[in-house]
Amino acid sequence: MENENMESNESIIKVDNLQTSFFTHKGEIKAVDGVHFDVPAGKTLGIVGESGSGKSITSLSIMRLIDDPGRIKGGEIIFKGENLLEKSEAEMRSIRGNKISMIFQEPMTSLNPVYTIGDQIAEAYQIHEGTSKKEGLRKAVDMLKLVGIPSPERRVKAYPHELSGGMRQRAMIAIALACDPELLVADEPTTALDVTIQAQILRLISRLQDELGMSMMLITHDLGVVAETCDYVAVMYAGKIVEYADVYTLFSNPKHPYTVGLLKSLPRHDIDQDELEVIQGMVPRPDNLPEGCRFAPRCPFARDMCHERLPDLEDLEGGNQVRCWIHTDQWDGPEVNVKDDYGSAQSSTS
């Protein structure tokens, strides 16, 4: 049964049965296929998965930034009681950058190269708060100071190419937070940065979230980042959520074979590892999805039923959820402890 989820915390946004497709000469490509999740107020939801799983398209759908040949086909995105999919483009412009803001993966392609950083931050104040340019620039200095950019009075006059990668990402955060959004959508906000700067940016985002009391949706493929920053985690695979849990449960007692595979592929420094484990096979092409469970061709536990029918997202103890036949009363195979049996099952099928 497809259910909405988690604890009884009030949610700032609820996504219900979201469907986003791209229409090409090959036909319809279902990038996001019936996704359900919510983000509790003041908390961070991490959405994780390999490249091509639908994470970024989910975030762009929430922002209503899907361009042709893409289209949001159905579902609801309920933000504070109102369905964003029923809003006009003018209404969405008043929400974007104001109530909901987004940090994109690569700041150099998101920042306008012909405007100063100060002008780009000030623009948010001018559009959403009606301030003058002079007042906007004054607030821009305050925002650069807030995100830890040194000499903000000087940097406010700089162009994007004059800043380092870390400073550009901080400037993007300053733009996103300029109007005190209630929800921040961060799409791989540290991918283009080196490890040291990544850690600084993540600490900055977490600190600002605590100070401003906002909710956050973090899109990432990095489970280490999830462990450090998230309260809840949605694991995506081939356009669907396959597991949804609080962060402690996900790491200590994962239920879906795909989640276990992701966790086992992480390098560990607390045990000896001769080589990293890998998930066998490849992510299916979105124009050629399997008939049954989309992970079945790569799953070491898969049986005939897994290849024939797609399981629903089932409720588990504690409000967590998983999309896997193993955790239903219809499972026709031997009893499986996915976490403990994964390695030996993978060895027997490789």
Q: How many CA atoms lie within 13 Å of 311's alpha carbon, on the beta-carbon side?
A: 28
Residues 238-254: what's their mean pLDDT?
95
| Local confidence band at 326 (pLDDT 50, 70, 90 cut-offs) | very high
Question: Please, are residues 295 and 303 in contact by the beta-carbon 8 Å criterion?
Answer: no
Question: Please, are residues 50 and 223 in contact by the beta-carbon 8 Å criterion?
Answer: no
Residues in the chain: 350
Please classify residue 219 by burial: count the beta carbons closer than 10 Å to its beta carbon, then call 0-12 exposed, 13-18 middle and 19+ buried: buried
- The pLDDT of residue 299 is 95
Question: Please, are residues 244 and 313 in contact by the beta-carbon 8 Å criterion?
Answer: yes
| Local confidence band at 169 (pLDDT 50, 70, 90 cut-offs) | confident
DSSP string, 116-135: -HHHHHHHHHHHHH---HHH
* pTM for the full predicted model: 0.89
For 266-282, write each residue's pLDDT tens digit.
776 656 656 677 888 88
Q: Is the pLDDT of residue 143 over 60?
A: yes
For 57-76, write each residue's pLDDT tens digit.
999 999 999 999 999 999 99
- The pLDDT of residue 148 is 86
Residues 166-175: what's their mean pLDDT?
88
Give the span between the Cα atoms of 100 and 179, in whole angstroms: 9
- The pLDDT of residue 4 is 43
Q: Is the pLDDT of residue 8 over 80?
A: no
Q: Is the pLDDT of residue 1 over 80?
A: no
DSSP annotation of 193 reads: S
For 70-124, write each residue's pLDDT tens digit.
999 999 999 999 999 999 999 999 999 899 999 887 767 788 999 999 999 999 8
For 192-229, write each residue's pLDDT tens digit.
677 787 788 888 888 888 888 899 999 998 888 899 89
Q: How many CA atoms lie within 13 Å of 226's alpha carbon, on the beta-carbon side?
A: 25
- The pLDDT of residue 272 is 61
Q: Which residue has the higher pLDDT, 111 or 234?
A: 234
Give the span between the Cα atoms of 300 and 281, in whole angstroms: 11
